[in-house]
């Protein structure tokens, strides 16, 4: 469960590597973690890709 209840999917193209995604809904740079979760019990979620991919992330 996140602070956000929008359930709005965002389509993004991500390069290979590790991407830190926001799980709290407080980031000002969604869908990525910007550290806005500090002081909450939420932690960013790591998404590791071996190759560039189009992904759809539900916020």
Binding site for ligand FES (CB under 6 A): 22-24, 26-27, 33-37, 42, 44
Q: How far is the CB of 53 from ligand FES (least distance, A)?
A: 21
Closer CB to ligand FES, 13 or 38, in the complex: 38
**Closer of 16 and 40 to ligand FES (Cβ):** 40
Shortest CB 26 distance to ligand FES, Å: 5
For residue 18, with 0-12 CB atoms within 10 Å meaning exposed, 13-18 middle and 19 or more buried, which class applies? exposed
User: 38 phi and psi, to 5 degrees?
Assistant: -55, 135
Task: Report angle CA 25, 27, 29 to the nearest 5 degrees.
Answer: 125
């Amino acid at each position: 469960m996140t602070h956000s209840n929008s359930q709005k999917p965002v389509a993004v193209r991500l390069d290979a590597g590790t991407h830190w995604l926001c799980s709290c809904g407080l980031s000002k740079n969604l869908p990525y973690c910007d550290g806005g979760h500090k002081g909450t019990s939420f932690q960013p979620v790591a998404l590791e890709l071996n190759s560039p991919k189009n992904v759809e992330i539900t916020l």
